Amino acid sequence: MVFTDDTEIALASMVALVNSADEPDELTDLAALDAFAATYRWSGRRDHTRRELDDVRALRPRLRQFWNLDEDGVVELVNELLREYRALPQLIRHDEFGYHVHATPLDAPFADRMGVEAAMSMSDVVRAGELSRLRVCGMSDCDSVLVDLSKNRSKRYCDLNCSNRASVTAYRVRRRTVERSERGSTQSVGTPT
């Protein structure tokens, strides 16, 4: 494990939130937001309103900036989010989770809690000197983001789909190279010297 469980969960949630803005947009209605909240086990207040959905959607481009900024820029954005949402870190225990840090009350608006969780998880990434784990997918036609939590820092693709497409592309390139080489060998064998 690279980070604590709560940090890794917050990072995964942030990545999914940022990537939900890719085409086709995955957060277009309240049902999609409910499913997102359930998938990432968000606790606390939910208003189930269009405004809540709009506030969460508006957070996505701000969080996407983490992948485009240098360390000082990341720190500035972390501090901006913490100030804006009036973060007040405290230890909380709920559900089956042991004590972990929440920096907003459970009754704070959902988008505020998401922004603070993202900022808190990014503060852990910065403090650990691990910003290089933030990456954009290695597939040339994909702009999705990822956080590489592998021990050997080898994750290059945002999901299995892009990983499989990259493997197929690499196989086809290797196959074409072999075919060209074989054609060249055949031609050189039949040519007089």
Q: Is residue 100 within 8 Å of 6, Cβ to Cβ?
A: yes
The matching CATH number, chosen from 1.10.10.60, 1.10.3300.10, 3.40.50.720, 1.10.4160.10, for 5-158 is 1.10.3300.10
The whole-model pTM stands at 0.85
Token pair 């009754």 is at which residue? 107
Residue 192 pLDDT: 56
What tokens were used for 59?
């957070």
Mean pLDDT by 10 residues, the chain (193 residues): 88 97 96 97 95 98 98 98 94 83 91 97 96 95 95 91 85 78 68 54
Domain residue spans of the chain: 5-158
Phi-psi region of 146 (alpha: psi -120 to 50; beta: other; left: phi over 0): beta
Q: Is residue 80 within 8 Å of 122, Cβ to Cβ?
A: no
Residue 146 pLDDT: 97
Which residues have C-beta within 8 Å of that of residue 129, sequence separation ≥ 6?
none
| CA dist., res. 10 & res. 192, Å (int) | 68
Residue 26 pLDDT: 95
Which residues have C-beta within 8 Å of that of residue 79, sequence separation ≥ 6?
119
